[in-house]
Amino acid sequence: LQTRLQAGQGYGNTLNCVLTVYRNESVAGFFKGMSFPLASIAVYSSVVFGVFSNTQRLLSQLRHGDPSHTPALTDVALASMVAGFVSVGIGTPVDLVKIRLQMQTQPYIEANIKVKPTVPGFRVYRGPIHCFRTVLQKEGIAGIYRGAGAMLLRDVPGYCLYFIPYTVFCGWITPDGCISPNPSSVWLAGGVAGAISWGTATPMDVVKSRLQADGVYLNKYKGTLDCILQSYQNEGLKVFFRGITVNAVRGFPTSSAMFLGYELSLKAMKRDQTETNP
């Protein structure tokens, strides 16, 4: 729904998008492009949380001589920015394949641009591997990383507004005297952080989605700035908030589960290390 609302045409609002997708493509339409992100989400999340955690430990070691020292918010912000920067390297190709698969049967609005010979409404890609291989053959590495600039502008501040609210909310709702937050605190803080992060990242998420969807039939945008200008000129400021409801609603449960899994995994590994090295 997020991609259709941001990069597609003819969807008035979220409910209209749901009904249109179901009417035209049945239930299967809601799961297009799912396999590639599903196959890579474990690696992606491991890298993001691993980079964040290890950067925090490195900063604590440099500042205090103790990697386990509680990091300051400035250290959390710096670690978040590093994690956001690294995430783009993995996330851009995955998002591009997902968006191309989701948008390949969507209508488009013609501009004064030469249309590719592919007929709109018919499948261009047979699946995620075919999509990846086709883009790589026709557009090279630059095609695979199309939208990386917009994703960088989305994820670097986005992860700051992901990990910092989580750290702050965990501190607020964790009772005094507790060494680590309990699962309910982690779940709530993670959900709030996810909703904040995805809600505020929506404008650049729209730009990224449009850049990555561009190229199935048309090549409308020359780059991130051109996409921003064309989108604003054609549809006004409101275009940059398309899909914000879906993003915020989706951000809560996914981030709750992500942070809960992260914290429980850390606890389990620390317990194993304690038992192994008494």
Tens digit of pLDDT for each residue in 230-269? 999 998 999 999 888 888 888 999 999 999 988 888 888 7
Spatial distance between the Cα atoms of 36 and 101, rounded to a whole number of angstroms: 10
CATH assignment, 148-277: 1.50.40.10
Separation of alpha carbons 86 and 83, rounded Å: 5
Quick check: 32 pLDDT over 80? no
Write phi, then psi, for 213 (nearest 5 degrees).
-75, -30
Averaging pLDDT over each range in 38-47, 144-153, 170-179, 242-251, which range is the top one?
144-153
| Sequence spans of domains, the chain | 33-145, 148-277
Q: So what's the pLDDT on residue 111?
A: 41
Q: What is the pLDDT of residue 66?
A: 86
Whether 188 shows a pLDDT value over 70: the answer reads yes
Calculate the average pLDDT of the chain: 82
Task: Give residue 8's pLDDT.
Answer: 65
At residue 147, the pLDDT reads 92
Query: Tell me: the pLDDT tens digits for 33-74?
Result: 666 667 678 888 889 999 999 999 999 999 888 888 888 999
CA angle (98 as vertex; 18, 145 as ends), nearest 5: 140
Tokens for 220? 């409308």
Reply yes or no on whether the pLDDT at 5 is more than 50: yes
Model confidence, pTM:
0.81
Distance from C-alpha of 106 to C-alpha of 150, rounded to nearest angstrom: 22
Nearest Cα to Cα of residue 148 among 107, 92, 226? 92
- Cβ atoms of 260 and 189 closer than 8 Å: no
pLDDT at residue 173 is higher than 70:
yes
Is the CB of residue 120 less than 8 Å from the CB of residue 25? no
Over range 106-116, report the average pLDDT: 46
pLDDT exceeds cutoff 90 at 218:
no
- Average pLDDT, integer, range 76-104: 91
253 in Cβ contact with 199 (< 8 Å): no
Q: 235: number of CA atoms within 13 Å, CB side?
A: 18
Task: Extract the tokens encoding 160.
Answer: 């700051």
